[in-house]
Amino acid sequence: MRNEVAEDLEEFLGSRGHQLMRAAIALTGSRSDGEDLLQAALERLLRNLPRVGTDTEAYVRRTLYNLAADGWRRRSVWQRVLPLIRAEGREPAPDATAAVDIRDALIRMLQQLPPRQRTVIVLRYWEQRSEAETASLLGCSEGTVKSAASRGLTRLRLLASAQLTDLGPLADGRQLAYPRASQVLLGNTEG
């Protein structure tokens, strides 16, 4: 029985582990915290395996989002603010990898949102889930998802207005690596 569970889990992580890790990193803002968050979700999966049913991925994703939204692994204000203060003092090095810079800036801005808003933004715009799917995953109403998304986007736009002017590559008209996220941040969601 244990070998069967281990093989199923290994197969599941082999096929979906990369996507789950990307979601965990987006929710936490760093690879190490993302790994810890995914590990905590997998531990819950193993503890509750008899009750999970057949949709293992949905259970793990819901656990990831709920752990992140509940303020999993809370940090003091200084642990979140200090890297941002240090980053502001540095001159950005010119680099051909503008998409990486933009993604990093987006993750830093996401970290400044409350956990519920960050989770809703990641689900709605990073993973491009519908309001109904997001509400189902978080166990809340669609209205809660809409208000959290609205507040989160408003806050992100305020944060982005200062950072996007410093990135430079946006002004030359090049296509971003994450056009959907940039359209949402800039308020251009038509089409």
Domains annotated on the chain, with CATH: 1-74 (1.10.1740), 79-191 (1.10.10.10)
pLDDT at 126 (0 to 100): 86
Give the span between the Cα atoms of 20 and 12, in whole angstroms.
11
Question: By the 8 A CB rule, do 113 and 148 touch?
Answer: no
pLDDT in tens, 22-51: 998 888 888 888 888 888 888 888 888 878
pLDDT tens, position by position, 101-157: 778 888 888 888 999 999 999 999 888 999 999 999 999 999 999 999 999 999 988
154 vs 169: CA distance, rounded Å: 23
- If we measure between CA atoms, which residue out of 157, 153, 152, 135 comes closest to residue 144? 135
Give me the pLDDT at residue 79, please: 55
What average pLDDT does the chain have? 76
pLDDT at residue number 119: 92
Mean pLDDT value of segment 51-71? 83
pLDDT beyond 80 at 5 = no
- Check: pTM over 0.75? Answer yes or no: no
Q: Is the model's pLDDT at 13 over the cut of 70?
A: yes
For residues 3 and 66, the model is more confident at: 66
Is residue 1 pLDDT above 70, yes or no? Answer: no
* Helix, strand, coil in percent for the chain, rounding step 5: 75, 0, 25
| Percentage of the residues of the chain whose pLDDT score is greater than 70 | 68
Q: Which of 147-150's residues contact partners 24+ apart within 8 Å by CB, and which partners?
A: 148/116, 148/117, 148/120, 149/117, 149/120, 149/121, 149/124
Mean pLDDT across 60-71: 84
* Range with top average pLDDT, 67-71, 75-79, 150-154, 159-163: 150-154
**The pLDDT value given to residue 176:** 45
